[in-house]
Amino acid sequence: MSTRPQAVPTKQIDNERVIVTEWRFAPGAETGWHTHGHDYVVVPIANGLLHLETPEGLKEFPLKLGQSYTRGAGVHHNVINASAHEVAFIEIEVR
């Protein structure tokens, strides 16, 4: 059981085409382990460093303001804010 604080998701849109969620992470906060059911795009709205716990091990991933990236359905991971400040991004899942 993790003792990290939880990241805060705010669902902005949930319709037949997309799910749009803003994620905010206090320093050290995590999403918890999850598997994506849809392809998705992440749009960072803050700079920072994420740690990704994956079945293959720990990975570091820098967030760069406005530099979007995409991942496919089936990704299984736990996202952790490794920055000393809050980080945030918009996640757009495509149905």
Tell me the pLDDT tens digit for each residue of 74-95. Answer: 999 999 999 999 999 999 999 9
Tell me the pLDDT tens digit for each residue of 18-73. Answer: 999 999 999 999 999 999 999 999 999 999 999 999 999 999 999 999 999 999 99
Residue 2: per-residue pLDDT: 75
> In sequence order, which ranges of the chain are alpha helices (DSSP H)?
none
CATH of 8-94, one of 2.40.10.120, 2.60.120.10, 1.10.287.180, 3.30.70.2740: 2.60.120.10
For residue 7, give both structure tokens.
Answer: 């990241």
Sign of the CA dihedral with 50 first, then 70, 25, and 80 last: negative
What are the sequence ranges of the domains in the chain? 8-94
DSSP designation for 6 = B
